[in-house]
Amino acid sequence: MTEEVHSKFLEFLDNTSKIRTEAEQAIYRNETVLLVDLQDVHSYSVDLYTDLVRNFSRDVDRINRSIAVYTMREFSTALEQVSFHNSQVVYKIRELKSDKLGQLLSFSGTVTRTTQVRPELSQGTFVCKVCNSVVSDVFQEFKYTEPLVCPNHLCTNRRLWKLEIDKSKFLNWQKIHVQENTEEIPPGSLPRSMDVIVRNDLVEKIRAGDKVVMTGYLIVVPDVIQLMMPQSKTVPVQSGELDEIKKKRNINIKDLNYKLSFMCIHADCSLVEDGEFTNEELAVINEMRSASDLYYKLSQSMFPSIHGHYSIKNAILLLLVGGVGKKAEGGTSLRGDINVLLVGDPGTAKSQFLKQASSFLPRSVYTSGKSSSAAGLTASVIKDGETGEFTIEAGALMLSDTGICCIDEFDKMNVRDQVSIHEAMEQQTITISKAGINATLNARTSILAAANPIKGRYDKKKTLRQNINLSAPVMSRFDLYFVLIDDANMENDRNVATHILNSHASITDKGMLASYFTKEQVKLYLRYARRKTPKMTDEAKEMLIKKYIGIRQDSLVHSNNYMMTVRHLESLIRLSEALAKIHDNEFVTKEYVEEAYRLVKSSVVEVKGEDIEIVPKTADEPGFMINSKDYIRITNSFIYLIKTRDPMERHELVEAFLSESESCIESEKALIEEQKKAENVLSFLIGKEGVLFISDGKIHIHPSYDV
């Protein structure tokens, strides 16, 4: 039967023109493996396809011999082995059981760690230590195999052999640990994993975090870790006739300890993002690109179940597209990925934003800050149970390299764990120095995080900095942060309820919510937009400088909030580039800078509070009501004037404020009203709030206000 497979496969090679082209290219690239499409085998002969798949481990040597014969005859150069791909069925890891041993099959999974490349003895040459006879080409089958007997008839040696390393053949060998894809894990189950063995051309091609489709066959190997455990070898001393029988049965129980491994002959780790677009896909992209108000429609299509929050939807769309990463001459890299933080009350759809956003890019990880450690987020160093070597196991940020990492409950993380992601958020690398391993690993990921306020609900009377338990270094690494507040507003509640009811009513036949574009169309357009690299125009550069200076001046007033740093200029650049990518524009124009500035400004602006009642000092004076917007405007102006000028007396400060506001005052009546507001707010800031105080007749800012 095996010889029949050999001859049939040789006929297939001779009669398929595509194979000749593939073989020619492989030889030209100096490779040793011929890639064969299983669908071509199926189209040529169903019987041959069935024989190959069912008994692949038995026939693999003869199939490789067929390849060598064919290429030697056609090109005078022999390719050593065959690699099949494009299997009809792709299994999950938990579906790989012992009934599939030896069959040619494919499965999908996520790579979590890889070992070092080591040499593996493939064909050994042995010398008899008794008579010096040489035995060549002794094939090694997953274990060290010596000749059974010396070929010299006068010698009876069976044990005393010496391996001739110079004359033996070695292969490159690497073990890869593959874990079940997150979306394939059933509820309440732990992820299954599989050890995969790769050889020759496949070594060092696969890295931690890759989602791969492996093609090969299952093998059984001794469970070395179980054999090394003392409890698996020792049998407790027992007494009695029945116990003696049990003891005898347990003597050889260690021989039953085997596990499944996978011998890989082809690994497809190319993400969908790397592939070329088909004509049908390009037609869909062109149709979407020509749609009016594409920016709005894309962001709405991503979150059809969430009402409102348009700025947040736009920000997450820009995060998924990303800016343009750059490398300086000295090797320094500037990140192009955008980080966004959502802060808000419970029940404001923060987790929904994260869950839905994590489903749009191939390499996406959703995790919770409460249950994640520093090593779980970055990377950990673990000891290999079989070899005793230390290897790096990828954490959430490494697994989401070139993708998005969604971290819920960000404020619940330990301070030490938050510090561990400082480097990953800005430099986009993870540095490991543990157990003799010093490595810098890539973590080129966008971070979308959600956090709750300190007391559970957002206090509008306090600043963003006072509401969340995050340090300034972490906050400065976020490009945008948004506050979501659950207010009891009749009109807003009516709109939300109507949207939810309409969502239930507008579910399509496929169980999906109706939107401008389908999820698959949005994924396709994101894939298209992420490849663009727009350039900055001179107009856009001037506008960026102007907007950055404006943000810095504003932050001088809001000194009790988070300081605007040069990172916010880079944020403006990244957001502008992402907008140009979405609109498929080769250049970043000032319109995109305006929208980026609006997003940054809307994300750092203070949350609107209630009207403030300024209580008079004496009962004879009337009370004064001022709305929150005017109160903050006047307070900020006072703080700015005191910081930028010499200390002033009370009347001088009011006059300076009125002269600064002169362009906005249209009549004498408005001037009197503005002066009254300014004097009342100044009295309130000195007497009630304690923001300002008087010393030697001059007004100063209280030191605690600048903390």
CATH code 2.40.50.140 region(s) in the chain: 102-233+251-268
Whether 341 contacts 481, CB under 8 Å: yes
Q: Which residue carries 């966008």 as its tokens? A: 446
Instruction: Give the residue from 461, 337, 442 showing the smallest Cα distance to 395.
Output: 442
Q: For residue 21, what pLDDT is reported?
A: 84
CATH code 3.40.50.300 region(s) in the chain: 279-604
Second CATH level (architecture) for the domain 279-604: 3-Layer(aba) Sandwich (3.40)
The DSSP bridge pattern shows strands 340-344 and 429-434 to be unpaired
Q: For residue 237, what pLDDT is reported?
A: 46
533 token code pair = 């690299």
Q: For residue 38, what pLDDT is reported?
A: 86
C-alpha dihedral (493, 450, 446, 282), degrees to nearest 10: -30
Q: Which residue carries 């503005």 as its tokens? A: 674
CB atoms within 10 A of CB 661: 17
654 token code pair = 């009011």
Q: For residue 706, what pLDDT is reported?
A: 47
Second CATH level (architecture) for the domain 2-86: 2-Layer Sandwich (3.30)
Second CATH level (architecture) for the domain 612-706: Up-down Bundle (1.20)
**Residues 130, 113: Cα–Cα separation, whole Å:** 45
- For 102-233+251-268, CATH gives 2.40.50.140
pLDDT, mean of each 10-residue run, the chain (707 residues): 74 82 84 84 85 84 84 81 84 88 88 85 88 86 81 84 87 88 82 88 81 88 57 44 49 63 84 68 86 85 80 88 80 82 82 85 82 77 75 81 85 77 80 78 86 80 74 82 75 72 60 70 88 89 88 65 74 91 89 88 56 54 66 80 82 83 75 83 76 80 58
Q: For residue 576, what pLDDT is reported?
A: 92
CATH code 1.20.58.870 region(s) in the chain: 612-706
CA 245 to chain centre: 55
547 token code pair = 């907007």
Q: For residue 616, what pLDDT is reported?
A: 55
